[in-house]
Amino acid sequence: MRFRIKSIRQRFTFALATVITAIMLIFSFILIGYNNNSLEKDLCVRLTTLTELTVKSLSSALWQYNFEYISDYIDSLFLYEDLAFASVSTKSKTIKKKLLQGFEGKDFSYFKESPKFITKEAAVVYQKVVVGKVFLAMSRERINSLIVNNSVLAISLLFLIISAIFITIYILSRKYLFQPLTSLENSARSIAEGRLDTQIDTGSEDEIGKLARTFSQMMQNIKAITASRDELNHEIAGHKRAEKEKKKLETKLQRARKMEAMGLMAGGVAHDLNNILSGIVSYPELLLMDLPEDSPLRKPIKTIQESGMRAADVVEDLLTIARGVATGKEVLNLNTVVDEYLDSAEHHKLERIHPLSAFKTELDSELLNITGSASHVKKVLMNLIVNASEAIEGRGTVTVSTINRYLDEPLKGYDDVRTGEYAVLRVSDNGSGISPKDLDRIFEPFYTKKEMGRSGTGLGLAVVWNSMQDHNGYINVKSSEKGTVFELYFPTTREKMADEGEQAPLENYLGHGEKILVVDDEERQMEIASGILTRLGYIAEAVSSGEDAIEYVKTNPVDLILLDMVMPKGINGRETYEEIIKIRPGQKAIIASGYAKTKEVNMAQELGAGKYIKKPYALEKVGLVVKEELEK
């Protein structure tokens, strides 16, 4: 069986255990062998000495036939340990024979052949005459058990010593080798997983410490390299972004120039055509008055008149496209324009042409006013709605909606919409959509996918585009196979419409000179909010950053703070509020933001801030929320 040893620690332990076991085994063998040998030798020496002693002691007794002495002597021999057999004999007979208990009846040859005994025989000589023989046998039993006992003792002792060595080596290597190595390994792993600022233990002075220091130095270098690489990447990304942005802007500029040029041309043609057309449109009318009812000329002249009227419509579009011709502007509300259009004869006709299309509206009741030309906006709306219903094959829905939108940062889209307050007119449909390729050109005059001259002249969106330029507005178009959304951004105004009165009784939310601090980084927003609050009877103070607000409240207590949430140049609204409540615990505040309710808003509210209002502000909304918060 092969098994893989993975760590140095395992390998070290395994090697240590193997070496120590081998040493232990060798030592044991040597020790046991030596012990065995010396005991055996000792036994032999004892037997030889005893034999010699016996031969000497018995020589004269044998010569004199002193059997009694011999018998006593042999008996006394058995005082010696290990002696198992002793006998003395002359040439003719055995004089005395003695055996250890349990071996009765055995003779010398038995002991000689058995491996459990060692034997010795010697001649007894008296004055150079052999007078008899001595036979002795000693048992190995005792020394065998001695050997076993000694071996066990020796092995146990060795085992103890070796275990002590093993444990010492293990503890030392663990402390000075494995633990530093493991810690280094952990650091390396953590670094490999991307945590570049992992601490490396460089405390010790030994080789591992040196390795750790080198490694740490290497990490510092890598960190420096990574940082400069990140910086470089960041710079490259920045350049790329700028390059892309530039290209986009260039295309947009080119597009705008092209449209302007085409508009100018269309406008020029329209002026000339307009003069020519007046003859074609007005003369048939005069002619018809003079012609008798049954004249065969009436029909062709009527056709001429109708064609002239159609041409006049086209010319009117062209004139709209030629900018600067727009009629006077007034304060108006997009909701009114939408309502008026949807109630017009043109729209009812459209509904009859597209019976399967449903027309829906979602109008913001607090929509801010704009400055514009109602007739142009109506035309714009009509063109969008006509296009939307033409894009729907079969059943579908065209939705017209209006909403206030405050942009804290520019909105990137078809046009780049600048920051500010807008009233947005949205026309969306679930029709066939516009391909990206066409999307680039749809606003060009005469660009149409419909059969030129029959169902479309391609002037509809050109009118939309030019009207929006005229209104300093922006267009955003999004389209997919699921449908198209046109969003028109009209800059708002705080002026009232000519016939517009106060909507709700102001008394419901009038203030009584309470002091309110407006915090907003946009000057126009600051002015609007201060204006509204003053109008409502409050004393309004304004600062343009969170930092200024904190300074302000240090010395001036205020009843309420109207706090902008997003202020990119400094600390945001939530951070500002966090600091302010340290100075004025329980400070009342209202949060304003152009965005939908964000996490930051929630956090500020958890800290104690009150209601959130969405920008752009409507007087009534601000009034009600301020009143509610102050009365809390």
Ligand X SMILES: Nc1ncnc2c1ncn2[C@@H]1O[C@H](COP(=O)(O)OP(=O)(O)OP(=O)(O)O)[C@@H](O)[C@H]1O
C-beta of 452 vs 504, nearer to ligand X: 452
C-beta of 225 vs 261, nearer to ligand X: 261
C-beta of 284 vs 460, nearer to Mg ion: 460
C-beta of 267 vs 460, nearer to ligand X: 460
* 432 binding ligand X? (CB under 6 A): yes
* 525 binding ligand X? (CB under 6 A): no
Candidates 135, 447, 474, 490; binder of ligand X (CB under 6 A) is 447
Q: Whole-angstrom Cα distance, residue 120 to residue 232?
A: 102
CB of 388 to Mg ion, least distance (A): 9
CB of 343 to Mg ion, least distance (A): 21
CB of 477 to ligand X, least distance (A): 8
* 442 binding ligand X? (CB under 6 A): yes
The one of ligand X, Mg ion, none whose footprint includes residue 447, by CB under 5 to 8 A per kind, is ligand X
Look up residue 238 and give its two tokens: 């920045």
| Strands, E assignment, 474-514 | 474-480, 483-493
**What residue has token string 């003859």?**
279
* 459 binding ligand X? (CB under 6 A): yes
Question: Which residue's C-beta sits nearest to Mg ion?
Answer: 460
Q: Whole-angstrom Cα distance, residue 458 to residue 393?
A: 20
Q: Judged by CB under 6 A, which stretch of 63-71, 206-214, 440-448, 528-536 contacts ligand X?
A: 440-448
C-beta of 149 vs 455, nearer to ligand X: 455
Helices (H), 174-206: 179-192
Q: Whole-angstrom Cα distance, residue 92 to residue 89?
A: 8
Candidates 195, 450, 554, 584; binder of ligand X (CB under 6 A) is 450
Q: Which residues of 172-189 are buried (b: 16+ CB within 10 A; e: fewer)?
A: ebeeebbebbebbeebee
Name all contacts of 219-223 with Cβ < 8 Å and 24+ positions apart: 219/191, 222/196, 223/196, 223/197
Q: Judged by CB under 6 A, which stretch of 180-188, 226-234, 386-394, 494-502 contacts ligand X?
A: 386-394
Binding mask 197-236 toward ligand X (x if CB under 6 A, else -) reads ----------------------------------------
CB of 339 to ligand X, least distance (A): 22
**What residue has token string 């958890």?**
606
The one of Mg ion, ligand X, none whose footprint includes residue 587, by CB under 5 to 8 A per kind, is none
CB of 343 to ligand X, least distance (A): 22
The one of Mg ion, ligand X, none whose footprint includes residue 564, by CB under 5 to 8 A per kind, is none
Q: Whole-angstrom Cα distance, residue 477 to residue 417?
A: 12
| Strands, E assignment, 497-586 | 515-519, 539-543, 560-564
Q: Judged by CB under 6 A, which stretch of 284-292, 447-455, 521-529, 604-612 contacts ligand X?
A: 447-455
* 434 binding ligand X? (CB under 6 A): yes
Candidates 387, 401, 469, 530; binder of ligand X (CB under 6 A) is 387
Q: Whole-angstrom Cα distance, residue 544 to residue 31?
A: 97
Q: Whole-angstrom Cα distance, residue 31 to residue 151?
A: 8
CB of 256 to ligand X, least distance (A): 16
Q: Give the DSSP per-residue string, 234-272.
A: HHHHHHHHHHHHHHHHHHHHHHHHHHHHHHHHHHHHHHH
Give the residues across from 121 on adjacent strands. Answer: 135
CB of 388 to ligand X, least distance (A): 4
The one of Mg ion, ligand X, none whose footprint includes residue 484, by CB under 5 to 8 A per kind, is ligand X
Name all contacts of 170-176 with Cβ < 8 Å and 24+ positions apart: 170/13, 170/16, 173/12, 176/206, 176/208
**What Cα–Cα distance (Å) separates residue 607 from each residue in 556, 593, 601?**
21, 17, 10
The one of Mg ion, ligand X, none whose footprint includes residue 262, by CB under 5 to 8 A per kind, is none
DSSP, collapsed to helix, strand or coil, labels residue 521 as: coil
Q: Which of 425, 426, 443 is nearest to 491 (CA)?
A: 425
Candidates 461, 536, 591, 622; binder of ligand X (CB under 6 A) is 461
C-beta of 448 vs 572, nearer to ligand X: 448
C-beta of 263 vs 511, nearer to ligand X: 263
Candidates 180, 396, 460, 623; binder of ligand X (CB under 6 A) is 460
CB of 454 to ligand X, least distance (A): 10
Helices (H), 536-592: 546-555, 573-583
* 457 binding ligand X? (CB under 6 A): yes
Candidates 187, 484, 525, 530; binder of ligand X (CB under 6 A) is 484
DSSP, collapsed to helix, strand or coil, labels residue 368 as: coil
| Residues found near Mg ion in the complex (CB under 5 A) | 387, 460
CB of 320 to ligand X, least distance (A): 12
Q: Judged by CB under 6 A, which stretch of 84-92, 157-165, 252-260, 450-458 contacts ligand X?
A: 450-458
C-beta of 135 vs 486, nearer to ligand X: 486
Query: How many other C-beta atoms lie within 10 A of the C-beta of residue 67?
Result: 13
Q: Whole-angstrom Cα distance, residue 520 to residue 543?
A: 7
Total residues in contact with ligand X, by rule CB under 6 A: 22
CB of 462 to ligand X, least distance (A): 6
Q: Which of 414, 419, 425, 415 is nearest to 374 (CA)?
A: 425
Q: Which residues contact ligand X by CB under 6 A?
A: 383, 387-388, 391, 429, 431-434, 442, 447-450, 456-462, 484
